[in-house]
């Protein structure tokens, strides 16, 4: 139900309208419905609580409804606001929409009980959808701004360093011993740039629901050793000791060795980066039942428990001393988690947040499916967020995937239109909500959540068609044909993309 769990405020001077609306809205599932008879009262209530939905009369005794709307919108762009108009108030209602209302409804439509208030509820639903669209757009713009700021800021420093150092090498007289130091500086800045770019690219792929695993059977000890070789150099530069412990016999598993190494590289480089000079880092591989367990621990500053839940979210960096002056994007752990989960594994962190007691990251990867293993089962299917592709074709595929999602959205709009048919609305009113929700989820994104929403929606439309076929739902043949046509197109596109 569209009003389930919604908190609603009615600002209207008419007793009859308030009581009537309150009854209908509670009956339709709203969790709270509060009322105000004047603008002043309404504004005071808005200052106390952010309502999901506000029904606002255009003509209030103390102030014009449009003025109230402006006041609410000055601090609140989250609530859906629907104007209630009397007969002939449409012009003012349209003006209100231009000033931030999400819709309007005439009083006579509210009190009409026709078709169980379906028109009234539909108007509210449309308005809430409009607000959700505004919010999604705002969020997208914010992400874009953040990303631009971060990319320009993060890329600028190492690039300036490279340019300045090459300038000195080219135009100044530099001692041969200093020349080497400068080249090393350029090398470090270059490495940093490539890591930043890779992080952003990986993140974009994950966000687009598209990070490919290239699975093969490998000995995990080799992956550990290769990652440790690289980390040892970084650790040496900070006079840290890196201890590596592995089982005596090979540990064969079906994994994407490159991606798994990337996970270990990230955990090790974090341990080295955030742990002070001279401390200890350990990497351990062990077996636990049918799982390989990787542990990366350090004796660094630790991470305080309040920050642990946010650690694997995008752009998150622990604020304060531990990260000050240490370069990072706050994307590494999120990428690591996605890669591990795409292998059917888990990643966890333990830390008491006590300096010296350090942090331990534990990654588990299921061993099933390795060739030659007794009772081996097929390798885990990559999750939708980690569909298999080859890195060189990555950019091209990313574009194709974008086109797929855009087309899917177009088809979902067609589906929404088809679902507005009266018979469908009456026989299955929730389906239109589901289609709208799926459209929302898809807007501006295309990740695992989007994929799930799409798969669920297709299954529901399918079951509606089946109900029509076996006679439990009566539908016009034209509606059946239209739905089937749209469903087939979505399915064909998805099959081309290897989704379902
Ligand atoms: P970053 O690029 O900032 O290192 P990550 O996603 O890899 O991004 O890590 C997120 C944050 O987690 C880091 O910014 C840091 O604050 C914290 N962190 C990660 N590993 C450690 C560690 N071993 N010790 C202390 N803090 C850590």
Q: How far is the CA of 317 from the centre of ligand 1 (A)?
A: 6
| Distance in angstroms (rounded) separating the CA atoms of residues 428 and 475 | 11
Among the listed residues 48, 106, 36, 120, the one whose alpha carbon sits nearest the alpha carbon of residue 79? 48
Among the CATH numbers 1.10.287, 1.25.10, 2.40.50, 1.10.10, which is that of 151-208?
1.10.287
**Per-domain boundaries in the chain:** 7-130, 151-208, 216-366, 391-496
CA–CA dist 446, 451 (Å, integer): 7
Q: 318 CA distance to ligand 1 centroid (A)?
A: 7
Out of 154, 270, 298, 336, mutate this one to test ligand 1's pocket (max ligand atoms within 8 Å of CB): namely 270
CATH 3.30.565.10 given to domain 216-366: yes
Stated as kind and residue range, the H or E segment containing 342 is helix 332-342
User: Which residue did the predictor score with more confidence, 184 or 102?
Assistant: 102
Residue whose pair of structure tokens reads 């099959």 in the numeric block: 495
Residue pair 267/361 in contact (Cβ under 8 Å)? The answer is yes
> CATH topology for 7-130?
Rossmann fold (3.40.50)
Distances (CA, A) of 179 to 67, 69, 262: 69, 67, 32
Atom of ligand 1 at shortest distance to CA of 270? 20
pLDDT at 150: 67
| The two structure tokens encoding residue 154 | 């993060």
Q: Is 203 in the pocket of ligand 1 (CB under 6 A)?
A: no
Query: What pLDDT score was predicted for residue 386?
Result: 44
The share of the chain scoring above pLDDT 70, in percent, equals 87
**Whole-angstrom distance, CA of residue 125 vs CA of residue 425:** 13
3-state secondary structure of 4: coil
Ligand 1 center from residue 213 Cα (angstroms):
24
- Angstrom distance (rounded) from CA 424 to CA 475: 7
User: Is there a contact between 251 and 285 (Cβ–Cβ < 8 Å)?
Assistant: yes
**Distance from C-alpha of 500 to C-alpha of 344, rounded to nearest angstrom:** 19
Categorize the per-residue pLDDT at 31 as very low, low, confident or very high, splitting at 50, 70 and 90.
Answer: very high
pLDDT at residue 231 above 60?
A: yes
Average pLDDT over residues 235-242: 92
The tens digit of pLDDT for each residue in 360-394 reads: 999 999 997 554 443 334 444 444 444 433 334 45
Mean pLDDT over each residue of the chain, to the nearest integer: 84
**Bridge partners, 300 (sequence order):** none
Q: Which residue has the tokens 């600002």?
A: 11
- Predicted pLDDT at 3: 87
* Token duo for residue 250: 């090979």
User: What CA–CA distance (Å, rounded) separates 66 from 100?
Assistant: 10
Q: How many CB atoms lie within 10 A of CB 48?
A: 8
pTM over 0.85: no
Query: How far is 367 from 314, CA to CA, in rounded Å?
Result: 29
pLDDT per position as a tens digit, 39-68? 999 999 999 999 999 999 998 988 889 999
256 contacts 216 by C-beta, under 8 angstroms: yes
Cα distance between residue 169 and residue 179, in whole Å: 7
Distance of alpha carbon 214 from alpha carbon 218, whole angstroms: 12
CATH number, span 391-496: 1.20.120.160
């Amino acid at each position: 139900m569209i009003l389930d769990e919604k908190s609603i405020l009615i600002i209207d001077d008419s007793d009859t309208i308030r009581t009537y609306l309150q009854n209908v809205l509670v009956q339709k599932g709203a969790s709270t419905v509060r009322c105000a008879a004047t603008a002043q009262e309404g504004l005071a209530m808005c200052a106390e609580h952010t309502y999901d939905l506000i029904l606002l009369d255009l003509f209030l005794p103390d102030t014009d409804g449009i003025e109230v709307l402006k006041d609410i919108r000055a601090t609140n762009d989250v609530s859906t606001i629907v104007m209630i108009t009397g007969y002939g108030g449409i012009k003012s209602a349209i003006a209100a929409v231009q000033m931030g209302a999400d819709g309007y409804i005439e009083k006579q439509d509210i009190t009409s009980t026709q078709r169980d208030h379906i028109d009234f509820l539909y108007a509210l639903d449309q308005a809430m959808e409009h607000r959700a669209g505004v919010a999604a757009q705002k969020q997208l713009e914010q992400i874009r701004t953040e990303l631009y700021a971060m990319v320009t800021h993060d890329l600028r420093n190492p690039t300036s360093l490279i340019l300045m150092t090459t300038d000195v090498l080219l135009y100044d007289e530099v001692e041969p011993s200093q020349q080497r130091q400068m080249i090393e500086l350029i090398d470090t800045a270059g490495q940093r740039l490539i890591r930043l770019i890779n992080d952003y690219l990986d993140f974009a792929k994950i966000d687009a629901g598209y990070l490919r695993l290239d699975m093969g059977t490998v000995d995990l000890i080799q992956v550990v050793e290769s990652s440790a070789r690289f980390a040892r150099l970084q650790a040496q530069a900070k006079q840290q000791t890196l201890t590596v412990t592995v089982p005596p016999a090979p540990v064969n598993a079906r994994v994407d060795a490159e991606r798994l190494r990337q996970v270990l590289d990230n955990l090790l480089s974090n341990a080295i980066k955030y742990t002070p000079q001279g401390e200890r880092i350990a990497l351990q591989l062990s077996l636990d039942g049918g799982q390989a367990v990787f542990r990366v621990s350090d004796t660094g500053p630790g991470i305080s428990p309040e920050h642990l839940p946010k650690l694997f979210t995008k752009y998150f960096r622990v604020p304060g001393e531990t990260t000050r002056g240490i370069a990072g994007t706050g994307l590494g752990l999120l990428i690591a988690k996605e890669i591990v989960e795409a292998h059917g594994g888990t990643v966890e962190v333990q830390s008491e947040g006590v300096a010296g007691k350090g942090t331990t990251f534990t990654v588990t990867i299921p061993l099933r499916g390795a060739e030659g293993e007794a009772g081996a089962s097929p390798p885990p299917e990559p999750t939708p967020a980690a569909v298999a592709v080859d890195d060189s074709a990555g950019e091209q595929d990313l574009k194709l995937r974008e086109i797929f999602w855009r087309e899917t959205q177009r088809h979902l709009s067609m589906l929404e239109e088809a679902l507005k048919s009266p018979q469908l609305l009456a026989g299955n009113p929730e389906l239109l909500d589901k289609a709208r929700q799926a459209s929302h989820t898809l807007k501006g994104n295309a990740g695992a959540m989007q994929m799930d929403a799409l798969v669920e929606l297709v299954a529901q439309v399918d079951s509606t068609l089946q109900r029509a076929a076996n006679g439990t739902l009566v539908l016009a043949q034209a509606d059946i044909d239209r739905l089937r046509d749209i469903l087939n197109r979505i399915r064909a596109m998805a099959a081309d993309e290897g989704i379902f």
